[in-house]
Structure 1
Amino acid sequence: MTPVLIILMAATILLEVAGQIAFKMGLSGAPEGPVWRKVLTSPAIVLGVAAYAVELVLWLGVLSQAPLSIAFPLAALSYCGVLLASRAVLGEPVSTRRWLGATVITLGVALVCLSA
Structure 2
Amino acid sequence: MSALAICLFSATVVLDVLGQLLFKTGLLRLQAPTAQGWRFLGAIALSPAIVGGVLAYGLEAVLWLAALEHAPLSLLFPLASLSYCGVVVAGWLVLGEAVSPRRWLGTATITLGVVIVTWGGVS
**TM-score normalised by length of structure 2:** 0.90
Q: CA separation in 1, counterparts of 2:26 and 2:7?
A: 28
Equivalent in the alignment of 1:63:
68
Gaps of 5+ in 2: none
Equivalent in the alignment of 2:20:
20
Equivalent in the alignment of 1:77:
82
For the aligned residues, what is the CA RMSD? Answer: 1.0
1:94 to 94, 99, 102: 99
Q: Tell me if structure 1 keeps the 8 A contact 2:9–2:64.
A: yes
Q: CA separation in 1, counterparts of 2:74 and 2:107?
A: 20
| 2:83 aligned with 1:39 | no
Tell me by how many angstroms 1:36 deviates.
Answer: 1.5
Q: State the one-letter code of the partner of 1:28.
A: L
Deviations 1:5-44 (A, max 9, x none): 1111110000000000000000111112233233111000
Percent identical residues: 52
**3-state SS in 2 of match to 1:38:** helix
Structure 1 residue runs of 4+, over 3 Å off?
none
Q: Which has the higher helix share?
A: 1
Q: State the one-letter code of the partner of 1:68.
A: L
Deviations 1:34-78 (A, max 9, x none): 332331110001100110011011000111111111000110000
Q: CA separation in 1, counterparts of 2:30 and 2:60?
A: 25
Q: CA separation in 2, counterparts of 1:38 and 1:7?
A: 35
**3-state SS in 2 of match to 1:63:** helix
